[in-house]
Homo-oligomer: A and B are copies of this chain.
Amino acid sequence: MGHSELRSAAEDIAFVLDRLGVGEALTRLAPYRDFDTATLVQVIDEAAKFSREVIAPLNAVGDREGCTFHDGNVRTPAGFADAYRQYRDAGWPSLPCDPSLGGQGLPVVAQIAVQELSAGANLAWTMYPGILHGAYECLHRFGSQTLRDAWLGALVTGESLATMCLTEPGAGSDLGQIRTRAEWIDAGDGVARVTGEKIFISGGDQDLTPNILHLVLARTPDAPAGSGGLSLFLVPKVLANGERNAAYCTGIEHKMGIRGSATCSMAFEGATGYLVGAPHRGLEAMFAMMNSARLHVGASAVGLAQSACEMAVRHAQARVQSRVPGADAHAPIAQHPAVWRLLEGQRVALEGARLLLYRAALAIDEAHHADTAEARAQADALAALLTPVVKAMLTEQAFLGASDALQVFGGYGYVEETGISQFVRDARIPMIYEGTNEIQAIDLLMRKIVRDEGAALGQWLAWGRARMNEAKALDTLGGFADALACLDDWTVLMPSLISLARTSPRAALCVAGEAMRTVHGLSMAGLWAQAAVADAAGGNKQRAARFWLKFALPETRRAMAIVAAQIKDPETAQ
């Protein structure tokens, strides 16, 4: 039994782009006709190098030092500002931006890869530029020409960073309860005074850029109640005329992890804000980039899990303890069956995560740029379907994977100096932010499955069925027949779940998590089939697919059994 052969992230992403046709699919989209996979791989290799050489060395120090807050100003850990300067100078902020604005116009697939690599090196640091793409997208699509002329350039160059100011003490998952108000100074021009308190604002203040562009959800006096009445405002820290705007950081949180990322409470005290998009349509502007934002969270999680797994593999190959049954000499713990299971489980989970992540990212690119409206709509439905699965399942995998990696270290893993604990602590937050994983499961069930009667899901699973039928024909693979049987069972179960959700949504929501696990498992079965066929010669993905079928597919059956039990007997607690 050998040690787990863990590929580097860049190498594995290249496989997905090259061998699973993601790169080729991109070149069929108008803006990416001139790209080829090799160019994308080159960008990814550059990102890997930058992450490894510039960002990763700041990971531990960021955790140890954390941020400090003094006199209204945040100081980030030593080296963070300098690394950002290098990042900006190398042009990374412009990656996804429109070439007509000086951007590089790269697809979401490429952004996601850069996010994965950067977050894997240092999630806390990555939080600062991590919101750039979203802020750019939001302003680019919804901002007036005046706003775009005034502020977009600084986002393209990375001269300014940005924040998303949604959460308030009384409004977390429930944005309808937002109380921050915006009073018009000039309703015609969309200029208002913004007043209120926001919490958990990542990068609400920092010392990386002179200006910060806050995107703030607020309620205008004429707004209807609930989330439908919210408007979005751009509130710069420093106004165009150089004046300091009344948007202040009032404190930072002392957190379990990502301690180098400043999580700020903010006070807007009649700050000047500029309406982005239509009044009362703030959520729409915010949610327009939600799929991409949530995929970024999933990508971060994969990056963390990769780094944790790499540490565990290195340790397991070096640490010699006890005999392995059947061998004479003491062996590296990587050769002990229990450790082998931990490491192989992580490796396969990681490679599987990328199959899903980059398929979802491609769907977003296709939703934006496919040639026909029908193709765009179909891709959009797939992106919408896969996004909550990516966000919730990949972040959970990363946390549990990092915890498994810690376990490989034994007692050493619990000592902070070893460094693995930081990954466990850092990996705990992606399960919460950008919509908790519970919110993702509700979103998947109610909005992505029930609303269209399972149409988009059915189409996606039909694709997977075709891949499994192809893979089944390969001699070396046995378990896809089981996976197809699971898929058959789900096909019978899904209409009952949809009707339960209509008649008794509470009962259905009690198993929303299991519905998500089922969709995840069935998605993975199709993706592993595709990978196994694509890698028939190399064999590495075939081995991983076999491992997945044997050790992970039973989880899909478990989840489905719970869904079935709830349909049969939909009681919930009184």
B340 & A572 in contact (Cβ 8 Å cutoff): yes
0/1 interface trace, chain A 1-39, chain B, CB 8 Å (1 if under): 110100000000000000000000000000000000000
Copies of the protein in its oligomer:
2
A433 & B411 in contact (Cβ 8 Å cutoff): yes
Bound-state Cα–Cα, A433 to B410, Å: 8
Partner of A172, one of B410, B512, B574: B410
Kindly identify, within residues 149 to 208 of chain A, every residue whose CB is under 8 Å from any CB belonging to chain B. 167, 171-174, 176-177, 199-200
B428 & A410 in contact (Cβ 8 Å cutoff): no
Q: How far is the CB of A475 from chain B (nearest CB, A)?
A: 14
B417 & A254 in contact (Cβ 8 Å cutoff): yes
> Is A416 part of the binding interface, using a Cβ–Cβ cutoff of 8 Å?
yes
> Is A431 part of the binding interface, using a Cβ–Cβ cutoff of 8 Å?
yes
> Is A314 part of the binding interface, using a Cβ–Cβ cutoff of 8 Å?
no
Q: How far is the CB of A157 from chain B (nearest CB, A)?
A: 31
> Is A441 part of the binding interface, using a Cβ–Cβ cutoff of 8 Å?
yes
Partner of A340, one of B336, B339, B543, B573: B573
Bound-state Cα–Cα, A510 to B172, Å: 43
B562 & A554 in contact (Cβ 8 Å cutoff): yes
With A410-B172, A506-B326, A513-B338 known as contacts, the answer to whether A566 contacts B550 (CB < 8 A) is yes
Partner of A337, one of B199, B550, B572: B572
Partner of A410, one of B399, B432, B554, B573: B432
B421 & A406 in contact (Cβ 8 Å cutoff): no
Kindly identify, within residues 526 to 574 of chain A, every residue whose CB is under 8 Å from any CB belonging to chain B. 543, 550-551, 554-555, 557-559, 561-562, 565-566, 569, 572-574
> Is A472 part of the binding interface, using a Cβ–Cβ cutoff of 8 Å?
no
> Is A414 part of the binding interface, using a Cβ–Cβ cutoff of 8 Å?
yes
Bound-state Cα–Cα, A199 to B418, Å: 15
> Is A284 part of the binding interface, using a Cβ–Cβ cutoff of 8 Å?
no
Kindly report which residue of chain B lies nearest to residue A433, judged by CB atoms: B411
> Is A491 part of the binding interface, using a Cβ–Cβ cutoff of 8 Å?
no
Chain A interface main SS type: helix
0/1 interface trace, chain A 321-351, chain B, CB 8 Å (1 if under): 1101110001000001111111010000000
B428 & A403 in contact (Cβ 8 Å cutoff): yes
Q: How far is the CB of A544 from chain B (nearest CB, A)?
A: 11
> Is A424 part of the binding interface, using a Cβ–Cβ cutoff of 8 Å?
yes
**Which residues of B have CB within 8 Å of A512?**
337-338
> Is A109 part of the binding interface, using a Cβ–Cβ cutoff of 8 Å?
no
Bound-state Cα–Cα, A428 to B400, Å: 12
B256 & A424 in contact (Cβ 8 Å cutoff): yes
Bound-state Cα–Cα, A437 to B254, Å: 31
Most chain B CB within a 10 A radius of its CB, from A254, A407, A558: A558
Bound-state Cα–Cα, A263 to B2, Å: 34
With A505-B325, A505-B326, A512-B338 known as contacts, the answer to whether A554 contacts B558 (CB < 8 A) is yes
> Is A509 part of the binding interface, using a Cβ–Cβ cutoff of 8 Å?
yes
Bound-state Cα–Cα, A543 to B324, Å: 45
With A324-B506, A573-B1 known as contacts, the answer to whether A438 contacts B557 (CB < 8 A) is no
Q: How far is the CB of A65 from chain B (nearest CB, A)?
A: 14
B341 & A510 in contact (Cβ 8 Å cutoff): yes
With A411-B172, A416-B256, A510-B337 known as contacts, the answer to whether A574 contacts B432 (CB < 8 A) is no
0/1 interface trace, chain A 409-429, chain B, CB 8 Å (1 if under): 011011111000100110011
Kindly report which residue of chain B lies nearest to residue A510, judged by CB atoms: B337
**Which residues of B have CB within 8 Å of A574?**
1-2
With A506-B1, A513-B341 known as contacts, the answer to whether A414 contacts B257 (CB < 8 A) is yes
Kindly report which residue of chain B lies nearest to residue A429, judged by CB atoms: B414
Bound-state Cα–Cα, A306 to B250, Å: 35
Q: How far is the CB of A476 from chain B (nearest CB, A)?
A: 11
Q: How far is the CB of A520 from chain B (nearest CB, A)?
A: 15
Q: How far is the CB of A331 from chain B (nearest CB, A)?
A: 10
> Is A253 part of the binding interface, using a Cβ–Cβ cutoff of 8 Å?
yes
**Which residues of B have CB within 8 Å of A550?**
562, 565-566, 569
With A410-B172, A410-B432 known as contacts, the answer to whether A337 contacts B506 (CB < 8 A) is yes
Q: How far is the CB of A69 from chain B (nearest CB, A)?
A: 14
**Which residues of B have CB within 8 Å of A513?**
338, 341
Given contacts A1-B506, A341-B513, A558-B558, 19 further A-B contacts (CB under 8 A): A1-B573, A167-B411, A173-B321, A253-B414, A254-B417, A256-B414, A263-B415, A336-B509, A337-B509, A337-B512, A338-B513, A403-B428, A407-B437, A411-B432, A414-B428, A551-B562, A554-B557, A554-B561, A557-B561
A-B residue pairs in contact (CB < 8 Å), sample of 15 = A1-B572, A172-B321, A172-B410, A172-B411, A177-B330, A253-B415, A253-B416, A255-B415, A256-B421, A256-B425, A338-B438, A338-B441, A338-B513, A550-B569, A557-B557
9 closest A-B pairs by CB: A338-B438, A325-B505, A337-B509, A256-B421, A174-B321, A558-B558, A554-B561, A174-B322, A554-B558
